[in-house]
Structure 1
Amino acid sequence: MDVYIVLRIISSMAVVGLVGFYLHLYSTVWLKSERVRRKLRLQGIKGPAPTFLYGNLPEMQKIQQLQELKTPNLQADFIAHDYTSTLFPYFEHWRKQYGLVYTYSTGMRQHLYVNNPELVKEMNQCMSLDLGKPTYVSKRLAPMLGNGIVRSNGIVWSQQRKIVAPEFFSDKVKGMVSLMLESGQTLLRKWEDLIEAQGSVTAEIQVDEDLRDFSADVISRTCFGSSYVKGKEIFKKLRILQEVISQQNFLFSNLGGLKKQNEKGLEREIETLIWEAVKERESSCDQKDLLQKILEGAINDQTLGNGSSKQFIVDNCKNIYFAGHESTAVAASWCLMLLALHPEWQARIRTELAQACPDGLPDSNTLPQLKTMAMVIQEVMRLYPPAAFVSREALEDTQVGNMTFPKGVCLWTLIPTLHRDTETWGPDANEFKPERFTDGVSKACKFPHVYIPFGLGPRTCLGKNLAMVELKVVLSLVISKFSFTLSPKYKHSPAYKLIVVPGNGVHILIQKIC
């Protein structure tokens, strides 16, 4: 009898504890989310009704599953270049129901979808440090990016920007062109050897990894003063870590940022390799490149102790290694895909190069003259911006235009949707037409402020100057030496792996120009 009573008491306590837990969730978490939703509703913002604990996650999963059941017509999708309804079908589904601004939730976390051109403009002009990177996303990316400039917020981000940003100004990037040309020669020689090895004038190449090697070599040479050989292991491990993290749909899940054992191991290995490179630099090099600037910035920052100074250096090196080469390499792959599909634009660029660069090689003075090249790159970045989103979190209640974003709300602007809106770009918005940029971005569309391949506002990508010059260099070298078309092996399947990549790679048939 005594045992029975004890069991009854334990059972009752468990029930009371469980009820208390749910009451706690309801009063502290659910009601808090509901208050945020009410503030948004009072501003005229609607959205799908959330469920308790899970928010709109069940609906998002259902919409995604329904989309995956469909068998897309690859050729039709290929011509339209429209992948948003495939990769992010819930956003497109809700946009048709609720318009260009709506709210939804993942678990107890409230989000705001923002694709209204006027509100995007206001966000672009907002200088407040209270509008930062979403903390839960940053936490999940910490193994790869640390607390460097890409994912930090507030004063920490501001301090890092002061150190890093000047190294990517136009005058500094112009001085990097000769090093980019050196990196490009390695790429050309490899492709020439492949043509010879395949025993004909034409070779089939999957360009993605070669372009990553090129871009990684550029970053190593221009920013860290070393050849690609030294940085190879760092890039390799960052790629593996990217694959591990991107396998989880952490952007829209309700899961915390738990690190798996393999992530921790990769993180430690990457940090060790970077720190070894830093120590080599301290003992043997006095170059005034980006790594040296980061070292000096960490040394001169009185707020950093020894441990913090080391982490500051390692984190920002990780940011530059990853963000500085991966996005540019993917953009170059998309460029070659579209140019292979439209050989008439290869011919136009080749003619322009012959006129601007009589000796066949561009330099820092001739690159700005390549207007046709710039138009093609801008159009590629419109259709296939590597970054799919601009993401922000209101770290405090933040006023943007005539709207107030409550503290804790995460904002998502879907870039490819903005770039394909027929109201902004016209009825041919889904077509590859570089001529729309003949008179620059300001004349290319109705609302030029929604062209944001490098993000928007104060946190616009620092490396955009470097990326544009690097793309011009590699395309100049490739187009001046080769003509190319798409291989029958190419399957158009954009995939989201932290950035939008060619899911099955870019296969081209390449021929050397005599």
Structure 2
Amino acid sequence: MDASSTPGAIWVVQTMVLAAIPLWACHMVNTLWLTPITLERHLKAQGLLGDPYCLSLLLSCPTYMLKLQKELLSKSMDLSKDDAAPPIFSLGHLTVHKYGTNSFAWEGTAPKVIITDPDEGEEVFNKIQDFPKPILLPIIKYITVGLFPYEGDKWAQHGKIIVPAFHLERLSCMLPSFSHICHDLIDKWKGLLSSDGTCDVDVWTVRIYLTCDVISRTAFYSGYAERAKIDDLLKMQGYALMTARYAHITLWWLLQSTTHRRMIVIDTCIRDSHESNMRKRAKELWSDQTTDDDLLRILLQSNHIENKGDENSKSAGMTTQEVMEECKLFYLAGQETTAALLAWTMVLLGKHPEWQARARQEVLQVFGNQNPNFEGLGRLKIVTMILYEVLRLYPPGIYLTRALQKDLKLGNLLLPAGVQVSVPILLIHHDEGIWGNDAKEFNPERFAEGIAKATKGQVCYFPFGWGPRICVGQNFVLLEAKIVLSLLLQNFSFELSPSYAHVPTTVLTLQPKHGAPIILHKL
């Protein structure tokens, strides 16, 4: 291009930029104002109540919510004998408290309709094509990977490969590893006992050297150094949640902040670690150097069979990158969910010694002082009732959100595309209209005849989700929890420490903000 043509080229570029500005402005006005206002009018015309969109903009709803939540979490709440339900503060709770169950809340520019009716919730869970998951915020992709965000054929394809790894018969071979790791913890705690046979421990910290170790050995068969490295990296990734408070600031996610750059570096390190371990395990698998059935080996076998069964299809199995993402999800969800369940179980049994005594008596009747076995675990009726009740009061996640990509009818509502629906797990789990006047009390007896009887056949109990997308790892979590709880009951009695501060909070899972200190008594 000669010099004479340069001004002409610059003029063309400037013209294109100037022409694009009005288009961009129109798009922003439509996105930030016209579409939300139209959706709001549509919802209110059907009798749904909620804060006006203009008010949510003025109050900066996410910032306002975080301020109120911070004030609540700064105070310790009483865990009374009669009321064990956590006083969780969330957008859904605040909205229902203010407007009732026929309501909606604003999350950015999207109105979120609160769904508390069991029949409507069942429809949301079952019709996964009509109610897909919302698009994840850019930074959240570093935390929720693997099967979690997939939809449609991609989800079905991955589910077909992953589900076999979590069949009960597959998990049964991992019992020796579960027991061995738990005995290491018990020996550690026995070493802390004072002369009177007691000691104070924080059971929330078991995730550091128990649930983390279990998911590492049974899922990936990695060495201690590898496990410690991945655990440290995942803890660092937890800082990503701190940036979520800016999620709804326009265009904020386009900025390359220090947090963004740090998350990219951490994510690369985690992927490199998983890739190295996966290649090592794949080499052992193809050379038959090991017969250990950890989850990674089972996953690689299942993926190999799927690829072999459809050699002409490039999409039959998972790529190396996708297998690594599943490993990361196993690792993160596997330790956090089980750790939270065990912590809340110990807290509630420490507060309710009569149920602790009943559970111990059952464990001793079934196993004596021997290690738990697979057949015996299925006979632990009281322990199972207790775990179900803990999951009702303290589910890992407190709500589920789905997005509408087309106009749909849900119950008596006509919902337009662009609306989200939220199923508030915690609100439904504590609904007195469903569970009775003791809905907020710790009463495992309600599950004496199973979940179906306790729920009267309604879809109102879903600590691991429900329908086709129910969590594939729930068997793993419950099996590990039963083994750990059985071995602890064989060796200790325990009570809640006076230093315990009851401040439930959500960071990945619903967990005790200040830990769960208990006093152990050697039996």
Give the match for residue 94 of structure 2: 93
2:83 is matched with 80
Q: Distance in 2 between matches of 1:477 and 1:325?
A: 18
1:321-356 Cα shifts (integer Å, max 9, x gaps): 111121111111111111111111111111111211
Q: Which residue of 1 aligns with 2:231?
A: 235
Q: Secondary structure at the match of 1:452?
A: coil
TM-score (norm 2): 0.85
Indicate the residue corresponding to 2:7 in structure 1. Answer: none
**2:519 counterpart SS class:** strand
User: Which residue does the alignment assign to 2:300?
Assistant: 295
Is 1:164 the counterpart of 2:169? The answer is no
Are residue 444 (structure 1) and residue 442 (structure 2) matched? no
| Counterpart mapping for 1:376-415 below 5 A | 376-401=386-411, 403-415=413-425
1:145 is displaced (CA, Å) by 3.4
Tell me which of 196, 201, 205 is aligned to 1:205.
201
Determine what percentage of the aligned residue pairs are the same residue: 29
Q: Equivalent residue of 2:243, what SS? A: coil
**SS of residue in 2 equivalent to 1:133:** coil
The answer to whether structure 1 residue 360 and structure 2 residue 370 are counterparts is yes
In structure 2, do the counterparts of structure 1 residues 175 and 66 end up closer, same or farther at CA, with 3 Å as the change threshold? Answer: closer
The answer on whether the counterparts of 1:217 and 1:227 sit within 8 Å (CA) in structure 2 is no
Shift of 1:377: 0.6
> For 2:215, which of 216, 219, 222 is the aligned residue?
219
CA contact (8 A) 2:47 2:102 kept: no
Q: 1:69/1:179 Cα in 2 relative to 1: closer, same or farther (>3 Å)? A: closer
Confirm whether residue 248 of structure 1 aligns to residue 250 of structure 2.
no
Other-structure match for 1:143: 142
1:3 is aligned to: none
Letter in 1 for 2:269: E
**Mapping 1:425-440, distance limit 5 Å:** 425-440=435-450
Deviation of the 1:434 alpha carbon: 1.0
Q: Residues 407-449 of structure 1: CA distance to partner in whole angstroms, max 9, x if unpaired? A: 3332222211111111111111111111111111222245641
User: SS state of the match for residue 121, structure 1?
Assistant: helix
**Cα distance 1:204–1:461, how it changes in 2: closer, same or farther (>3 A)?**
same
For 2:109 and 2:99, locate their aligned partners in 1 and report how far apart those are by CA, in whole Å: 21
Deviation at 1:22, TM superposition (A): 4.8
**Hey, what's the Cα distance between the residues in 1 that align with 2:224 and 2:411?**
46
2: distance between equivalents of 1:272 and 1:91? 39
TM-score calculated relative to the size of structure 1: 0.86
Q: 1:398 to 1:231 in 2, by over 3 A?
A: farther
- How far 1:314 sits from its partner (Å)? 1.2
Shift in CA distance, 154/381, structure 1 to aligned 2, threshold 3 Å: same
| Counterpart residue identity of residue 363, structure 2 | L
The one-letter code of the counterpart of 1:245 is: A
- Tell me by how many angstroms 1:282 deviates: 2.3
Q: Secondary structure at the match of 1:495?
A: strand
State whether residues 55 and 105 of structure 1, in contact with CA within 8 Å, keep that contact through their aligned partners in structure 2.
Answer: no
Over aligned residue pairs, what C-alpha RMSD do you find? 3.0
Distance 2:102 2:20 in 1: 40
Stretch deviating more after TM superposition (220-229 or 273-282): 220-229
Matched residue of 1:204: which SS?
strand
Matches within 5 A, 1:7-18: none
- Residue in 2 that maps onto 1:501: 511
Tell me how far apart the structure 2 counterparts of residues 98 and 251 of structure 1 sit (CA, whole Å).
Answer: 26
Deviation at 1:63?
A: 5.6
Q: Distance in 1 between matches of 2:467 and 2:417?
A: 19
Cα deviation digits, residues 217-254 of structure 1 (max 9, x gap):
22223222345553221122112212x02223459744
Bigger mean CA offset, 178-187 vs 116-125: 116-125
State the distance in 1 between where 2:502 and 2:122 align. 32
Residue deviations 1:269-306, cap 9 Å, x none?
11111111012112334445432343355562743599
Which residue number in structure 2 is paired with residue 483 of structure 1? Answer: 493
C-alpha distance in structure 1 between counterparts of 2:81 and 2:60, whole Å: 30
Partner SS for 2:149? coil
**Structure 2 Cα separation of the partners of residues 263 and 387 of structure 1:** 23
Q: Secondary structure at the match of 1:439?
A: coil
Q: Which amino acid aligns with 1:377?
A: L
Per the TM alignment, residue 109 of structure 1 is displaced from its structure 2 partner at its CA by 2.4
Distance 1:350 1:296, change over 3 A: closer
> Corresponding residue for 1:45?
48
